[in-house]
A and B are shown apart, each in its own frame.
Chain A
Amino acid sequence: GENVEQHPSTLSVQEGDSAVIKCTYSDSASNYFPWYKQELGKRPQLIIDIRSNVGEKKDQRIAVTLNKTAKHFSLHITETQPEDSAVYFCAASKRGKLIFGQGTTLQVKP
């Protein structure tokens, strides 16, 4: 079945540094790759997404890259701020079915 692996499980960076979270997926038919941020006690919310026909997408300090051949995609956060501290989930979607990775707890130290 479909599987999404996410690494690392925890990540600690200094404020202003960059953070990178990586995911791999198993189903080559997956065509949509969203990233969600979940703050403590709140629901996950979409922060950026990418479709399979695009290699990279940026939105201010956040960027996502996709390598379809290798079946992996990454989230890049630049100039991290304390409010970026949260759990981040990657996901892969095919025909509406949405499979999530295990999550990465990001801590940004002031």
Chain B
Amino acid sequence: DGGITQSPKYLFRKEGQNVTLSCEQNLNHDAMYWYRQDPGQGLRLIYYSQIVNDFQKGDIAEGYSVSREKKESFPLTVTSAQKNPTAFYLCASSDPKRTVNTEAFFGQGTRLTVV
């Protein structure tokens, strides 16, 4: 499945709880991304990381946190500070060093619902 795996596929969270979404890739890609997808709003960048132990905020980072301790892993924590967390979350990876292209490969996504 493209070498990038997200888990779980569905996640339910009670208000006030933090939850962590997993993203693992075996493509040896340096760059990893987290996007949030809402109807009619496309894919909005939450955080991205171009190398281990480094990451940058995207356009909608408030209420989210990430870590990049290993090249293969880029977990996303949705904190209680995120006011409207119900959404579809997509993780992606790419290899910016390649000269041919920087195609991003996506995971299957995690649908988070606040109950």
Write the residues of chain A forming the contact surface with B, with a CB cutoff of 8 angstroms: 1, 6, 9, 32, 34, 42-46, 49, 51, 89, 93, 95-103
Contact = CB atoms under 8 A, between A and B. Distances in A.
Interface stretch (B10-18, B66-74, B77-85, B94-102): B94-102
25 contacts: A1-B59, A6-B42, A9-B40, A32-B101, A34-B103, A43-B2, A43-B108, A43-B109, A44-B90, A44-B106, A46-B103, A46-B104, A49-B101, A96-B30, A96-B96, A96-B102, A97-B48, A97-B50, A98-B33, A98-B92, A98-B102, A99-B45, A100-B45, A102-B40, A103-B42
Nearest to B1: A43
Contacts, number: 62
A79 to B, nearest CB: 25
Contacts of A34: 101, 103-104
B110 to A, nearest CB: 11
Contacts of B104: 34, 46, 98
Contacts of A93: 102
A96 B31 contact: yes
